[in-house]
Each structure stands twice: as C-alpha cells, then as structure tokens.
Chain A
Amino acid sequence: MAHSSKAHTHSLVTLLPLAVATLVVLTPFIWMVSLAFTSADQAFSASNLIPESPTTANFVTALTSGGLGRAMLNSSAVAVIVVVSNCLFASMAGYAFAKLRFRGDTIVFGVLISTAMIPVSVTLIPLFLITKGIPLAGGNDLLGVGGFGLLNSIGGLALPYLVTPLNIFLSRQYFLEFPDELAEAARTDGAGELRIFFQIYLPLAKPLIATLGVFAFTGIWDDFLWPLVITNTDSMNTVQLALAKFLTSGNVQYGPVLAGAVLVTVPVLVVFAFNQRAFISGLADGGIKG
C-alpha cells in the first residue's frame, strides 16, 4: 500500500497519542509483570513499579509446583483441535450460507446465532451429561452407558467449542465478499462443489483461517468453568485451572499467580503477533481486494 507524503506527517502527529494510549492501556499489565518479579513479602507493600530486589523465584514456583507446563500443553492440544474443527466445519457452513442459498437459511442462521445468548450455567449440566454419554468413549457402550465418556479427556475439553456459531457467521461474512465468478468458471470446467470449496475458496481464505484460529485459541486459553467441572486429575489441567492452583482462598500466592499469568499470556500474544495482519484482514470484509 503506497503512502503519500501527507500521510507521513500525519503519522508523526498521531504517533505521540498512540504511544501515550498504549502506555496507559498497558499500565496494569506492566504492574502485573513488576509484581511477578517481586518477592512475596514485598508484594503490594510498595507503590513503585520497579521491584527493589527483583527475583525470578515466582516464575520458578509457577513452573515447577503448579504443573503449568503440562497445562499449557493440554490447552494447546485442545486449541489445535478446536481451531482445525472450526476452520473445517464452520467455514464450510459459512460458505454454504454465503454462496449456496436455500429456503429457510435465514431461520437456520438466526437459530444458530441465538445459542450465544444463554448463560453457560444453564446449559452446563446437559452438556456434562452429553459428554459423559459419548458412545464408545471412556468405557461407554454403543449407547453411551457404563463409563465416563469424554469426561477428563482432551476431547471432552474441546467438545463444546468444536463449531462456534459466531465463527459460522464470520465465515459467511468473509465468503460473501468472494467473487462468484471463481465458482462459475470452475463449474463450467465441470468441477464439483466440494472441489470448488476445498481447492479454490479455502486456499484463498487464509486470513479467515487466521481469524478463526486466533479466536479459538484465545477462547480456549481463557476457559475455566468447563475444564473445572469435567477434569479430575492434574494431568488434564488447563492453563486457567493451573493458575487457580495458587489462588488458595485466604492465602493467595500473588507472586506465582502473576508470574504464571505472564507466562501463559506469552503464547497467546505470540499467536496474535504473528497472525495479526492476516487476522485483521480476515475480519476486514474484502479479503481479496484487487
């Protein structure tokens, strides 16, 4: 994208406000990082940002006694499943809504979206029962009876997020902007609809994939209530559960929690930083302008 010389002076004028705004927004986070380097007995006792005697002990505690490493692996595994599944199924559905119209699509679509409007507390128990009743998993028979289904498993952790209605919506928005001529041309060449999607549209939809990926990843990383109820062993801990280990009621271990929180934020930020351009253009309506 070319910039005029006018845009250059413009950028200098706005750089200062941008720097100030970033600093203000980041302040509580900087505080968090500072506290993560502060020893337990000094936490919250001083109001200066730079710790008097910085220590990495909190990070050591967070990594060794909280099982944070294992938890990050678990959450990553769940995130990968959720990302792949959403990129496949949500984008297929979104594509169909955008390109292949059929009777009643508005209603189906409205119903799909409305599921985002009910608090999790209401649907938690039925969802739990379904997860426990997945056939042929965790000792269950064909009817889903007898065992524990997908409770306390990576699959169970991913189950409620495999296809998110909001992702279907985003995919639809994205594919709406694709010229139909691509498909027309392929159809004239005798290509099937599946091939048109998987070989023409999907490869062009990398920004969309980045968008769905970032959303799924951040969502999974932040999840608490679902992992809490369906996991029973430390080996299945997710990041938020592992962090909560330091939140002993009445005796919060501030240092390790904050150090842990800093550590678990890094992967998400890396995912975002490397994808932000594609992520944003995936959200921007016309992914393939010009």
Chain B
Amino acid sequence: MNIRRTLTAVTAIGLSAVLAACGTGSPSGSGGNSGPKELTVWFPGNSQVEIDLVTKTLVPKFEQQTGSKVTVTYVDWPNLSPKLTTAFASGTTPDVWGHGTAAAAGFAANDRVLALDDRINALADKDDFGGLLDQGVVDGKHYLMPLSGTGTLLVYRKDLLQGAGVDPATLTSWESVYDAARKLKTKARSGMLIATSPIADEQSFIALLRSASGKMLSDDGKTAEFNSPAGVQALTYMVNLYQGDGAVAAGVSDDYLSRPPAQQPLALGTAAITQFGPSQLLQLVKAKPDLADKLGVLAPPTLGGQPGKAYGGMGTGLFISKDSKNQDLAWKFLEYMASPEVSNQYAEVIGSLPVRQSARSSAYVTKNPLLTTFLAAQPAYIGNPNVPAWVQVRDVLSRYLQQALAGKVAPKDALDKAAQEVKPLLEGS
C-alpha cells in the first residue's frame, strides 16, 4: 500500500536524522561548503538606514573591490545571544560578527575569535583610532576592530536652566549638577535623570565610580573592588537622586532612553537634565527639530574634585571567527569598514561618534555642534573590564544596584553583597 510505504520512508528519514544529530558533535567549521571568496557577516542592530547603507552601498563596493561575495545578516542586540549560542553549538558561526566589548573576553577565553595584533600593528594609521583599539584588548591581545564610537553625557534644556537661574557653565562637578537639579525640580519635573534601568545602571555606576578614582575590578580581574569607599560614594550619589528628602528625580529604573522621541523626558519637559548617547540625541533632534537650539551637552563632571569620567568609547566592534576559512578576506573586510572614508560615512548614517580622530574635521561633525562635546570628551571615556564572566558579573551587580536604587538596601551593603556573589564567577574565570 502506498501509505504504508510513505510511512516507512518517513520513519527511516527520521531515524537517520537522529543518527546524524549524534554524529555532529564536533563543529565542522563555518562556511563548510563555501568557496574561498565568500564571507558571512552578522551585524548587530536593526536600524534601517544602517542596513541600507551597509547592504546597498558599502558591501557591494567591497565585493567589487575584492571580487568576493559577502552575505550580511542584521541581528538586533537582544537576539544576538541566542543566535550566536546556537551557532557556536553547531559550528555555524559566521566569518565575521559584530558585538560590544562586554562579550570580547568570553569569546577570547573560549578560543572563538582571532587575535588581531599582527594585523593591527601592520596598519600604517593605527594611531588614528586614539585609545579606541585598546578597549578590545583581552589579556594583552587585540580582538576587536572598532565600528562605531559612543559616549554617555549629561544633556540639558537651556530654557529650563535659564528659568531656574542656573548657569550651565558652573556645572562642572557632579556636586554642582546635583545642587542645580534641586533647583530645577518641580512637582511635575525631575531635576536630573540618569540612566538607571538594568544594565544602564551599571554604566552610570562605573562612570561615577571611576570619576571618584575607584575601580570595578582588580588589575588581574580576579577580585571585585567596586565595594570600595569610592564605590559607596558613587552609588550613594545615584541613590540620593531618587530616594529621601533630597530626591531630585522620579521614576527610578525607568528605561527612558528606549522610548520614542516624543516621550523623551527632555522633549516632554518632565526632566531638565538627562543622560544621552550621541545617536539617541541626534535622533531626538531629528524628530523634534525645535529642540535643537534648546539643548546643551555637559562635559564629564568631576566627583570629589577628581577628573570626571564618562561611560563610552567603542560602541560596536567586529570580530573574526577563529573557524573562518577566509581569515584574510575577513580582515580585509574589517580594514575596509574601519577605513577613513567608510567609517565616517557609517558614523554619519547611524549618528555615532566616528572611530577615527581624523574624522573630527569632517562635514558630519562640523554640521552637528551637539557632537562637539561628545568628541572632546573622548579621553575621559571608560569601558567595562574585559573578563570572561563579565556578562554574569554585570547581571549580579545590576541586581544589587537595583535594590539599592529602590531604597531597599543601603549602598554599602548592596555593593558588599554583590562583591561576595561575584567572587566565584571571577575566580572561576
């Protein structure tokens, strides 16, 4: 009978699939059946203008120059992890992928990405990247080629400050910003909002911590040092913005940055000062052009008289897979993306800071005066420590930061507990 034969076939196929699955234990390497001139690349993010620029202009040009075929996939940030995890498990990683610095140490420790030192050192103009290249260093080796630069600074509404009699020129320290925020606060308005949603809270914290001359981890990356007096000072500052009689802000943990432009506290006037990255700020101004003349950017303020630091530096970088069969072509792609002309075009389209110092005089930068302070602050930008367990460490720290910000645990206790809990994570790595 026909049906019976079909059933037997279905079962046979199914069983051989099981056998096959058992047989694919070892990764077969990426691009298994692709020729020598093919490259697969995963970019993080989802911005349509960026996708159009990369897939319709930049990549075709690269393909033409090198006679290669490049397959680009854009994967939005939150989806990058499950995709990479399954790719690692099955040996289907792309030749090149983009990611933030937070993931670098994990990739490096597991021998998943290629060290780029020889190639980077051979670059004639590597000094043009300033300190950006160093953020991709794990255990003394370079793994990342910067794709975009970023920084998080305080942005204020000029009109609101003027109305409260605050001169922005005096806002050079976190202490003076706090005093100003007290004056700016009304029933319907927060004086100052800093990013306190999970993950962003850690970025706000490290900026304050480093401004107070504190350190996140010991130099060898094996011990937590964020519960130092500097750490307590930093966290206390954050908590005082939201809790107690001196509170200057409402809506702790609110992820205001991911709201649409019209819902931004600065646009609504529900906050006088908030934190912004360059691309988010440019998007806000693009959506609300009337705000352009009303906004000002503060240089990283000092804390306790120490020079101010801000979270920033490399936004995204590109890795080359250790399993790539076309590592030379992959490097050519990285070089191409970071070349002066391409990287500047890229920065302009996504609204990020250019990765090269030489781009400061470009038309993109000069026609956007709001970027000036972001660029000038570049020496003050700091990133997170590159240790393999960082993503997990950050999750633990963020959990305790949230408890402290909610006023449930004292800053010192929260940091001590977090330090205790990350201990096995850091030692195991």
A residues adjacent to B (C-beta < 8 A)? 40-45, 65, 124-126, 128-130, 132-135, 139-140, 142-149, 151, 194, 198, 225, 228-230, 232-233, 244-254
Contact = CB atoms under 8 A, between A and B. Distances in A.
Given A125-B86, A145-B28, A250-B257, A42 B262 contact: yes
Interface stretch (B15-23, B121-129, B216-224, B389-397): B15-23
B110 interface: no
14 contacts: A41-B262, A44-B260, A44-B262, A130-B21, A132-B92, A133-B23, A143-B23, A194-B1, A194-B3, A198-B3, A228-B82, A232-B71, A248-B76, A250-B257
B17 A134 contact: yes
A66 to B, nearest CB: 8
Contacts of B83: 228-229
Contacts of A133: 17, 20-21, 23-24
Nearest to A139: B33
Contacts of A140: 20
Q: Is the interface of B mostly helix, strand, loop or mixed?
A: helix
Given A143-B16, A144-B20, A144-B21, A250 B28 contact: no
B48 interface: yes
A128 B263 CA distance: 40
A75 to B, nearest CB: 18
B78 interface: yes
Interface in B74-105: 76-79, 82-83, 85-86, 89-90, 92
B79 A244 contact: yes
Contacts of B1: 194
Nearest to B4: A194
B89 A125 contact: yes
B213 interface: no
Contacts of B263: 44-45
A148 B260 contact: no
A151 B262 CA distance: 41
Interface in B244-258: 257-258
A225 B82 contact: yes
B48 A128 contact: no
B288 interface: yes
Contacts of A252: 258, 260
A125 B91 CA distance: 12
B169 interface: no
B46 interface: yes
Given A43-B262, A144-B23, A135 B17 contact: yes
Closest 4 CB pairs of A and B: A144-B20, A133-B20, A248-B46, A130-B21
Given A40-B260, A194-B3, A232-B71, A248 B89 contact: no
B86 A124 contact: yes
B287 interface: yes
A130 B258 CA distance: 37
Interface in B204-221: none
Contacts of B21: 126, 129-130, 132-133, 144
A247 B46 contact: yes
A129 B287 contact: no
Contact of B262 (A45, A129, A149): A45
B13 A250 contact: no
B46 A134 contact: no
B348 to A, nearest CB: 16
Interface string B32-51: 11000000100001111000
Contact of B71 (A143, A230, A233, A245): A233
Given A41-B262, A125-B86, A249-B258, A135 B13 contact: yes
A146 B33 contact: yes
A184 to B, nearest CB: 22
Given A132-B24, A147-B33, A251-B283, A142 B16 contact: yes
B24 A148 contact: no
Contact of B24 (A144, A246, A249): A144
Interface in B41-79: 45-48, 71, 73, 76-79
